[in-house]
A and B are shown apart, each in its own frame.
Chain A
């Protein structure tokens, strides 16, 4: 069971991202940035899956290097892993979210809340 917190913004989700290379950061969610005043992003939910081995995944900001915004988490092979907003610190950033994993081929999707106007 998950509790949806009082909204601060609008809910959106990333595409299902397939990790393209081991230990190389790639974009996960692109912040909507076409307005005159930048939006911020709060990570709310994470869904990750691997069928090519156990994997450690880090979600953060920046590509070189990626700076984690929450601690890395471990996904067991063929077991889906979900974290909901009850379990994720309310970290708010004003740049794209990025992701990095220890093996290529695993899948990650996030739901975020975008704060803006």
Chain B
């Protein structure tokens, strides 16, 4: 039986498809179809760590574009994140489009998250080309923090555009949906 791969999978991060398989990337309210031609890991490390900066007690950072996670054309990233300081972070895809949202509130990622989700699978998100993610941190303490660090890890996928497939009509028989933007 084939190994089941899918997005937001519990446990340590795994790639969501194999090379040669089709993905439909949900971005800008449409699905675009690509074939994955290459996959490699993005390791949890200093270059993929972002510091949202010092925050006063109870302070809130600006909504910050995480440019270091930009992907080249025809590539997307599957990433998970860990917040290293005592802040809670809201993830945006599109500066005004929050992820992890309910009707009235938006859930956050914080220092408590790894206590209940050691592998960070609920933090998983996908970034296609230069469709940046944005983060906003809130200092949850009663004292100033000098830094608000967030670290990322995951996989990089290199794509080949499949122009014969379109959302309205000729779709591939088997494909995996990649939620690379907020669903408004």
Interface positions, chain B 137-170, Cβ under 8 Å from A, are 146-147, 149, 151
- The prevalent SS among residues of A at the interface is loop
B147 touches A116 (CB 8 A): no
Bitwise interface map of B from 31 to 58 toward A, beta carbon under 8 Å scored 1, else 0: 0000000000000111111110000000
In the bound complex, how far is the Cα of B50 from the Cα of A66, in angstroms? 30
In the bound complex, how far is the Cα of B151 from the Cα of A36, in angstroms? 12
> Of all chain B residues, which has the CB nearest A94?
B146
Bitwise interface map of A from 76 to 100 toward B, beta carbon under 8 Å scored 1, else 0: 0000000000000000001000000
A37 touches B45 (CB 8 A): no
A94 touches B46 (CB 8 A): no
| Given the contacts A94-B146, A94-B147, A35 and B84 also touching, CB distance less than 8 Å | no
- Determine whether A117 belongs to the interface, using a CB cutoff of 8 Å to chain B: yes
- Determine whether A53 belongs to the interface, using a CB cutoff of 8 Å to chain B: no
In the bound complex, how far is the Cα of B149 from the Cα of A38, in angstroms? 9
In the bound complex, how far is the Cα of B45 from the Cα of A116, in angstroms? 8
B151 touches A117 (CB 8 A): yes
Bitwise interface map of A from 23 to 34 toward B, beta carbon under 8 Å scored 1, else 0: 000000000000
A37 touches B46 (CB 8 A): yes
A117 touches B147 (CB 8 A): no
- The prevalent SS among residues of B at the interface is mixed
B47 touches A116 (CB 8 A): no
In the bound complex, how far is the Cα of B7 from the Cα of A95, in angstroms? 39
Residues of A within 8 A of B44 (CB): 117
- Determine whether A115 belongs to the interface, using a CB cutoff of 8 Å to chain B: yes
- Distance between B80 CB and nearest chain A CB, rounded to angstroms: 13
B147 touches A36 (CB 8 A): no
- Chain B residues within 8 Å of A, Cβ to Cβ: 44-51, 84-85, 146-147, 149, 151
User: 5 pairs across A/B with beta carbons < 8 Å?
Assistant: A35-B49, A36-B46, A36-B49, A37-B50, A117-B45
Given contacts A35-B49, A40-B147, A94-B146, 18 further A-B contacts (CB under 8 A): A35-B46, A36-B46, A36-B47, A36-B49, A37-B46, A37-B51, A37-B149, A38-B147, A40-B84, A115-B84, A116-B46, A116-B84, A116-B149, A117-B44, A117-B46, A117-B84, A117-B149, A117-B151
